[in-house]
Structure 1
Amino acid sequence: MDADVLVVGAGPAGLAVAACLQERGVETIIVDRGEAIGESWRRRYERLHLHTPRSQSALPGLRIPREFGRWIAKDDMAAYLELYARQHALAPRFGTHVDRLERDGDLWVALTGDRRWSARHVVMATGYSNAAARPVWPGEESFAGEIVHAVDYRAPAFYSGRRVLVVGAGNTGAEIAADLVEHGAASVWLSMRTPPNIVPRQLGPIPITIMAAGMEHSPAWLVDPVNRRLQRWTLGDLTRFGMPAPTAGVVAQARATGVTPTIDVGLVRWLRAGRVTPVAAMDRFDDGRAVLSDGTRLEPDVVIAATGYSTGLLPVVGHLGVLDLQGRPLVNGPRDLEQAPRLRFIGLSNPLKGQLFQIRLHAQAIARSIAREHRPA
């Protein structure tokens, strides 16, 4: 056996659970397919800041430095993770891609190329945004422009003076659309299949995700009417600017689809100014034009697919019966499943109160759970 616990993934979730386990004296190995701590954060688009405030985003055992401000920039988040790893003496084994997880008697075996890692417990912390979900649209070979996934979007300067169709009105799509307008894109269309619930980042001094923490377990019928009034009061009637009204409330939509509200960090301003144009869902390409579900034809120079991510777990654990039809863990947190004892998942949900806050809670709970079961070899 290589370790009592194998943690797969060295992002915030993997580092947090490893630190909590280490404090309880449980031997842990962390493996990660990347090359350095914070690597995925540094690769994200320049504008990105956390939507949860500093106080709600820290991992167990280390506050985020005050000088990083209230809303943490992506590079500062990467620096915080590096600091966190040093503080807890965590040394992930990088360049290690887990291809498959198997049972071998009472142990788990992770297959990584020509290497086998064995452990009594495994914690999968590979990230909510593990693999880009890039749709393939019929007729796209006729499109002479560029099609990129949002994961490859870095900075808006390249798109100055160009006509851009952003597909997807979640947080990433909305933020990219605002970024493009602010840096000189000629036209920006925002295509959506499901109209989002748009909410302000904060109400007065109170961050919206702190308010959402109290809604996490409340019935949708009780809190969503309040949410609708708050949305209307703070942002106004966005249908006047072409944004379709959402078909469900904030909590109802999040529970039905797993999609959290779109937090406004610039989009509403440009909707009101007519600089971002909401349009129907992207359907196909025809003769080089983008054709929408309502028949509208557009001629963008670039299409940016802000169409989300998948967990990427199917080839690794899909054969174990622990995933739902969308490839998400059936249990995400401290509990394990009967068919996969001592296998846990962390950081693979997107709750209303914020993913990092949920990671903090789950890391501590997982460490307590494993420590109770732990028996020295």
Structure 2
Amino acid sequence: MGTCREEETTLKCVWVHGPIIVGAGPSGLAASACLADKGVPSLLLEKSNCIASLWQYKTYDRLTLHLPKQFCELPLMGFPADFPKYPSKEQFVSYMESYASRYSIEPRFGQSVESAEFDPSCGFWRVRTQDMKYLSRWIIIATGENAEPVVPDMQGMDKFHGPVIHTSVYKSGAEFRNQNVLVVGCGNSGMEVCLDLCSHNASPHMVVRNTVHVLPREMFGYSTFGVAMALLKWFPLRLVDKFLLLVANFTFGNTERLGLRRPKTGPIELKNVTGKTPVLDVGALSQIKTGKIKVMEGVREITRRGAKFIDGQEKEFDSIIFATGYKSNVPSWLKSDFFTEQGMPKTPFPNGWKGDNGLYSVGFTRRGLLGTTSDAIKIAKDIADQHMAFKDAKITTYNAHIVLQKKS
């Protein structure tokens, strides 16, 4: 890593010999480790003060991995053998810290990327943070699909008398004991928050605005996701989807009578096309059946004391929790047409990992950590090949220079 001078700026400018990786979550760590394994240095920029800040700061206490650990491993290093089938968030964080240590990954923390742009005049990427400028031949976007919380703008929200939070700041139902709580969103987070609220004697009302697939987390003693992955090796996707729905209907009965309408598209196909993940039930369905979790239709407006619903009901609430997910923030700082306005690669999986002029993306596959692993391995090989060619070209140029000197 070296320095360069640039006119009309007070920012220090740093030349990076390997790629710049933006984001020190699982995707950034995976890319850095795969590059290190091939002898390629990299610089990892992270706006927070730790690795995996989403996991460390913006997840609730009861969170565990929804998939078995073998589907959530980063490349080159598995989970410790003594970890449970579904590791807790603390265990997952400790695994990532061990991973970073093994591959000597030392991110530059407190570096929030404000802009990144390819400069065709010199063939390098210019990456600017609040106090630095970096130059590199390559940039890897690893900020992921879940960079920023999504909070919908609801009519009357500013009138509500109580706290309004996103699940990114929710920790435990202990803070909502004996309260009536409106939970907006019915994905995995919404279901688990409702379940957690029930365990602390709160009364959650879950808003289900759209259709949703709910599947058992396990079937026949095996992970539902694992069974689906195994079947997809032998059978067409739509046939596997039909099998999953058959098992779900046998396990739960008709969820539509509970207010949970299923999409017409099957769960795996829907996930692949839209990124919408099916809910893997860990106990919320039974609480819905007993009435401890009340399912509500869409909200018409928020009132000072509660909410009015589109079916005409009006209820009072003490708090509102938005379990409305996250979004990519790439369009706000990356100057490139490689990504859509929603911050996802325009080219779908499995070819969305590479753009032009040394631009790469990892962790935007809508396929979780399995997709991250696939991206990281491809990116590392591609850059390693270029890196070696670049070094060979420098050696050839140096040798030619020596020969010319001797002749003269």
Report the TM range for the smaller structure's normalisation: over 0.9
Aligned counterparts of 2:65 and 2:180: Cα–Cα separation in 1: 28
Q: Aligned residue for 1:197?
A: 213
Aligned counterparts of 1:28 and 1:48: Cα–Cα separation in 2: 31
Q: Give 1:131 deviation, angstroms.
A: 0.2
1:1-377 → structure 2 map (5 Å cutoff) = 1-43=15-57, 44-104=59-119, 105-185=122-202, 187-213=203-229, 221-317=238-334, 319-331=335-347, 340-351=356-367, 355-374=368-387, 375-376=390-391
**Partner of 2:182: helix, strand, or coil?**
strand
Aligned counterparts of 1:56 and 1:258: Cα–Cα separation in 2: 17
Aligned counterparts of 2:99 and 2:110: Cα–Cα separation in 1: 20
Q: Give 1:347 deviation, angstroms.
A: 1.1
Q: Which amino acid aligns with 1:231?
A: A
In 1, are the aligned partners of 2:163 and 2:318 still within 8 Å (CA)? yes
Figure out how many residues of one structure are paired with residues of the other and give that number. Answer: 371
Aligned counterparts of 1:128 and 1:213: Cα–Cα separation in 2: 22
Q: Give 1:214 deviation, angstroms.
A: 5.1
Q: Give 1:40 deviation, angstroms.
A: 2.7
- The change in CA–CA distance for 1:175 and 1:245 in structure 2 (over 3 A counts) is same
Aligned counterparts of 1:245 and 1:15: Cα–Cα separation in 2: 36
Q: Give 1:65 deviation, angstroms.
A: 1.1
Q: TM-score, normalised by structure 2?
A: 0.85
Q: Give 1:256 deviation, angstroms.
A: 4.2
In 2, are the aligned partners of 1:98 and 1:110 still within 8 Å (CA)? yes
Name structure 1 gaps, 5 residues minimum.
Answer: none
Deviations 1:93-147 (A, max 9, x none): 1111111111123111111023111111111111221100111211112211221
In 1, are the aligned partners of 2:177 and 2:197 still within 8 Å (CA)? yes
CA RMSD after TM alignment:
2.0
Q: TM-score, normalised by structure 1?
A: 0.92
- The change in CA–CA distance for 1:106 and 1:214 in structure 2 (over 3 A counts) is farther
Q: Give 1:333 deviation, angstroms.
A: 6.3
Q: Which amino acid aligns with 1:107?
A: F
Aligned counterparts of 1:286 and 1:245: Cα–Cα separation in 2: 30
Deviations 1:327-357 (A, max 9, x none): 222246665666x321111112322xxx112
In 1, are the aligned partners of 2:350 and 2:365 still within 8 Å (CA)? no
- The change in CA–CA distance for 1:158 and 1:118 in structure 2 (over 3 A counts) is same
In 2, are the aligned partners of 1:168 and 1:307 still within 8 Å (CA)? yes
Indicate the structure (1 or 2) with the bigger Cα radius of gyration. 2
In 1, are the aligned partners of 2:305 and 2:317 still within 8 Å (CA)? no
**Partner of 2:312: helix, strand, or coil?**
coil
**Partner of 2:212: helix, strand, or coil?**
coil
In 2, are the aligned partners of 1:52 and 1:71 still within 8 Å (CA)? yes
**Partner of 2:137: helix, strand, or coil?**
strand
Name structure 2 gaps, 5 residues minimum.
Answer: 1-14, 395-408
Runs of 4 or more above 6 Å deviation: 215-218
Aligned counterparts of 1:73 and 1:283: Cα–Cα separation in 2: 37
Q: Give 1:67 deviation, angstroms.
A: 2.4
Q: Which amino acid aligns with 1:371?
A: A
In 2, are the aligned partners of 1:138 and 1:284 still within 8 Å (CA)? yes
In 2, are the aligned partners of 1:241 and 1:274 still within 8 Å (CA)? no
Alignment identity in percent?
A: 29
In 2, are the aligned partners of 1:242 and 1:277 still within 8 Å (CA)? no
Aligned counterparts of 2:280 and 2:318: Cα–Cα separation in 1: 27
- The change in CA–CA distance for 1:333 and 1:239 in structure 2 (over 3 A counts) is closer
**Partner of 1:35: helix, strand, or coil?**
coil
**Partner of 2:339: helix, strand, or coil?**
coil
Q: Give 1:371 deviation, angstroms.
A: 1.6
In 2, are the aligned partners of 1:96 and 1:112 still within 8 Å (CA)? yes
